[in-house]
Amino acid sequence: MNNRPDLQANQCSENHDDSPVTAILSLEKAQRMAEFFGVLGDPNRWRILSALAMGEHRVRDLAAAVDMSESAVSHQLRILRTMRLVSYRKRGRNVFYCLKDDHIFNLYREASEHLDEPPEVE
Amino acid sequence: MNNRPDLQANQCSENHDDSPVTAILSLEKAQRMAEFFGVLGDPNRWRILSALAMGEHRVRDLAAAVDMSESAVSHQLRILRTMRLVSYRKRGRNVFYCLKDDHIFNLYREASEHLDEPPEVE
DNA sequence: TGAACACATGAACACTTGTTCACGTGTTAT
DNA sequence: ATAACACGTGAACAAGTGTTCATGTGTTCA
């Protein structure tokens, strides 16, 4: 799936290509995409990410901020870690988490734009 | 969650702000984000989207392309429709689906970039 | 009109996912 | 050394999700 300008989007227009439809995404790539976006498919993980958008924070403070148990937050941070969305540094018995890169911001913005678009009238 | 340049990302640096951590995303917004990304958290939906990236297609051709039953594809298209990721037009007893806008391309590209980044060495 | 077709939908079932609870590891303080 | 603390992890259970199967709606063709 690329971004060629000739791709049809936004309204269904006739397609005169009779060749069989082929899914361009391989099963493996589709699986990887789904796993990644699936991680973003939980409201508590978004709240954790949004708290980390303010700067790094300890697990216990994150738990207080999103009103979850430390255990639950730790489980979620583990998932975010495996998807490389957050990184951390240890300092004594505290562990400080922060966002790993800017991709999460861009994804957030793109999704927001989509969700904020008004539903069409017909 | 915005994109201010002063936000700390990519590595955990010290944060000397002692104010309590506040999650900027409201529960409702986090829920909406999760619902949207959750829809993208299924490999078969990505394969359907990737097939539609080539142009509009009928349900039955989509089913053949992604090797699923027409019923399963129809169920998935319904979900994609409610998230306004696809639109359709009816033509006799056929229904042609296509991508609704370009957001899906941008999301795909951003995720790809993230997934393709090499894991760091330490 | 009746049969075949293309698609949609509801119920049910298997499977996945997120939380809680209990416990373990490593660090700090007394 | 001992206790308290901060965090991580495994098992288990509740809740959510995707597929199949059966059926329904609307269209085309003989």
Q: What's B86's domain CATH number?
A: 1.10.10.10
Q: What percent of chain A has pLDDT over 70?
A: 80
Answer whether B41 sits within 8 Å of A24, measured CB to CB: no
For residue A60, the enclosing domain spans: 27-116
Asked if A96 is an interface residue toward chain B (Cβ–Cβ < 8 A), one would say yes
Residue B12 has phi, psi (to 5 degrees) of: -80, 110
Cβ contact B103–A88 (<8 Å): no
pLDDT band at B26 (very low <50, low <70, confident <90, very high): very high
Query: What pLDDT digit, counting tens, does each position of B73-84 carry?
Result: 999 999 999 999
Residue B11 lies in a domain: no
- Tell me whether residue B19 is in a domain: no
Within a domain: A1: no
Domain assignment present for residue A77? The answer is: yes
Q: For residues A52 and A115, what is the distance between their CA atoms, to the nearest angstrom?
A: 23
pLDDT tens digits along A59-103: 999 999 999 999 999 999 999 999 999 999 999 999 999 999 889
As a whole number, the mean pLDDT across chain B is 87
Domain-located, residue B17: no
**Which segment of A89-93, B20-24, B36-40, B53-57 scores lowest on mean pLDDT?**
B20-24
Chain B contact for A108, CB < 8 A? yes
Confirm whether A59 is domain-assigned.
yes
Residue nearest to nucleotide D22 (CA to C1'): B71
In a domain, A51, yes or no: yes
CA gap A34, A43 in Å, rounded: 17
- Provide the pLDDT confidence category of residue B14 given band limits of 50, 70 and 90: confident
Q: How many domains does chain B have?
A: 1
Among A43, A81, A57, A83, smallest CA distance to B25 is for A43
Report if residue B99 sits inside a domain: yes
